[in-house]
Structure 1
Amino acid sequence: MRLIGIEEHYLTTDVRDAWEAIGLAATDPSVAVHSGEVERRLLDLSDERLALMDETGLDVQVLSLTTPALHDLGRQGLELARRANDAVAEAIARRPDRFQTLAALPVGEPEAAALELERCVRTLGFKGTMLCGRVGERNLDHPDLAPIFEAAAALGAPILLHPRTPTIAVRSAYYSGFTPEVDAAFAMYALGWHYDAGIQFVRLMLSGIFDRLPGLQVILGHWGEIVLFYTERLAALDRVSGLEHPIATYLRRNLYVTASGMFSPDYLARAAAIVGPDRLLFSTDYPYQYRQGRDARRFLAGCGLSDMEKAAFAHGNWERLTNGSERPVLASS
């Protein structure tokens, strides 16, 4: 059974150097995570990556520029995005059987980002894009960023909504008071990243973006970035949101969910119950959650889905989403 991981990360030396040039590590501790063995694996798009894919049992990686991507790089982001996208396109051309990708976008320049997404999808054959939460002080539902979402909807290109580190003010209020190492981990991969991504998705729903762009498809990693575990409470927003549909409708119509290397049958069952088994996507979150010994294959084998649902989870749902066969949704009159 073909196994496609849709959240698998990379980095370029250009982007790494740009982060260093603006001193981004001083405000975003995730920059320091990309070092040593992790950095080496992120930078490699050839032999070592392919060998480790084979070792865990993954046939295809869908590559995405790792967080915080280009969100803090302003005007220079456009050139960096073009170079990163062209470099990944070359890697795919060498191994089209093993790699696909999501576009890196200069999100600080939304109009340019929309054009770059169109180039990547129409010319380079990319599958969608990945966004990493806030852009400066703007949440993703800010009107300035609308061109990116409008372009994605028009192109039928899904958006993977990836976590990023909360602002300094939020970290100080909620994730501080321990050692620097514990504070950073608490604010990032232990919890803070995931609340941040989930809140960005809820903000998009409450902004009415899925009423304006009913065909827009968003992907949340880590089994829904906590959102799916609070759907009963989120449903209370239906009384006050003014949206065209209940929250539950958007979760089943506009959201896909992926594992991000969290190989838990219990979490999978919860996600399937909320969004449906036709909206589950596989991923290993390479290189952050990488584990040896064909771990991906073992999880798929014992995940509790039927054979038909396993095939959809392993590759079929992603192929339907990105091959233009996602069920169309008509705009409301």
Structure 2
Amino acid sequence: MPYQKIDIHSHYLTPGYTRFCQEQFGGLAGDVAEPNWQVENTLALMKLENIDYSVLSVSMPHISYNQDARATTKLATEINAFGCQLHQEHLNQLGYFATVPLPFVNESIAIIKNALFYQQALGVVLPTSAQGIYLGDPHFDAVMQLLDDTSAIVLIHPNDPPKTPYHVDEKFPHPIYDFFAETTRTFLNLVQNRIFIRYPNIKFIIPHGGAALSVLAPRTLGAKMLNHRLQTDEVDVTAAMKHVYFDIAGRVLPSLLPALLQIVKPDQLLYASDYPYTPKPVVLGLNSALAHTHWLTDTQRQQLYFQNALKLFDLV
């Protein structure tokens, strides 16, 4: 049966962001060429795959590589204005998550307020780290407080790690391995710093099926045996996973989705295409796998595809 869908993890590129990627990285994103994106292609995919609404965001590399507050803020402003324009031109089909100029705290607060209050952003997208500072770091407490005060939706997106071991995995494009490692590392960093407890109103979305969390979670309580100073709420990844959302961008079958469903409920799952970084033929194949997997009932499939996002964005 054709399921309605809301895609909460789809990407767009702007002229300013494209120039940034060319100048800083030679047009690469995690060792992979940046796609040639046009809004018409997103709309065509949406029509083909019965996607009623797509929430766009800018992927990686994160704009923090500018290492300059003014330049980073200027680029975030351009990206968000472009996203707002796309939304206004396609009110019933496209929304966006605002890009934030981390690690610059004051500038990020100003951008978030403008995006949420005046530019109709549905939430924000935050990188796993910015200039080597991970999201759970106290450096970002003021940003987290604002996001909590506004009950913001926050999509976390993997960024390249600050440092990678030399001659270990240089032949693997970063999305294959480093994205999983960084998402997992960042979630542990958020748990360690009690972000989910201290800022309970933030609605976090963890990408790519939670990366390696479903496998790692049962191990983390064992950290207290090795470090007796640790408190349970600093290491209980399983408990934290029960209070966030997970998008299913990428290849979550045959292994990742079943493992994730052993810890979280189906109403925590959100559909995500990751287009155009995930090419159209792959998106179609992944959708077909989801439509036919025995790990989801028809009711749970409709939750994942549509109903969960409808509730998250308060559209019901």
1:50 partner SS:
helix
Rounded to whole Å, the distance in 2 between the matches of 1:80 and 1:287 is 21
Determine the structure 2 residue equivalent to 1:179: none
Number of aligned residue pairs: 306
Determine the structure 1 residue equivalent to 2:308: 317
Rounded to whole Å, the distance in 2 between the matches of 1:11 and 1:128 is 18
1:67 partner SS:
coil
Q: Where does 1:176-191 land on structure 2 (aligned, <5 Å)?
A: 176=170, 182-183=171-172, 185=173, 188-191=174-177
Structure 1 stretch 224-233 or stretch 115-124: which is displaced more? 115-124
Q: TM-score, normalised by structure 2?
A: 0.87
Rounded to whole Å, the distance in 2 between the matches of 1:157 and 1:82 is 19
**Aligned-pair identity (%):** 20
Of 169, 172, 180 in structure 2, the residue corresponding to residue 175 of structure 1 is 169
1:21-65 deviation digits (Å, cap 9, x = unpaired): 4x345xx96265244xx1x12xx22x2221123234433221011
2:166 partner SS:
helix
Deviation at 1:106, TM superposition (A): 0.9
1:192 corresponds to 2:159? no
1:231 corresponds to 2:217? yes
1:56-86 deviation digits (Å, cap 9, x = unpaired): 4433221011112322223112121122111
1:83 corresponds to 2:73? no
Deviation at 1:125, TM superposition (A): 2.4
Of 53, 61, 64 in structure 1, the residue corresponding to residue 54 of structure 2 is 61
1:261 partner SS:
coil
The structure richer in helix per residue is 1
1:87-144 deviation digits (Å, cap 9, x = unpaired): 1111111112221111111113122212222222222222211112221132222222
Q: Where does 1:12-23 land on structure 2 (aligned, <5 Å)?
A: 12-21=14-23, 23=24
Contact 2:246–2:268 at 8 Å: present in 1 too? yes
Contact 2:221–2:232 at 8 Å: present in 1 too? no
Where do 4+ consecutive residues of structure 1 move more than 4 Å?
Answer: 293-297
1:287 partner SS:
coil
Of 268, 273, 277 in structure 2, the residue corresponding to residue 288 of structure 1 is 277
Q: TM-score, normalised by structure 1?
A: 0.83
Q: Where does 1:1-333 land on structure 2 (aligned, <5 Å)?
A: 1-21=3-23, 23-25=24-26, 30=29, 33-35=32-34, 38=35, 40-41=36-37, 44-45=38-39, 47-73=40-66, 74-75=68-69, 76-168=71-163, 170-172=164-166, 174-176=168-170, 182-183=171-172, 185=173, 188-237=174-223, 240=228, 241-244=230-233, 246-253=236-243, 255-264=244-253, 266-292=255-281, 294-295=284-285, 297-304=287-294, 305-323=296-314
Rounded to whole Å, the distance in 2 between the matches of 1:59 and 1:113 is 31
1:159 partner SS:
strand
What residue identity is the alignment partner of 1:59? D
Rounded to whole Å, the distance in 1 between the matches of 2:32 and 2:83 is 22
Rounded to whole Å, the distance in 1 between the matches of 2:137 and 2:223 is 20
Deviation at 1:300, TM superposition (A): 4.0
Contact 2:191–2:233 at 8 Å: present in 1 too? no
What residue identity is the alignment partner of 1:83? E
Rounded to whole Å, the distance in 1 between the matches of 2:51 and 2:315 is 24
Structure 1 stretch 53-62 or stretch 109-118: which is displaced more? 53-62
Deviation at 1:230, TM superposition (A): 1.4
| CA shift in 2, pair 1:4/1:324, >3 Å | closer
| CA shift in 2, pair 1:173/1:216, >3 Å | farther
The structure richer in strand per residue is 2
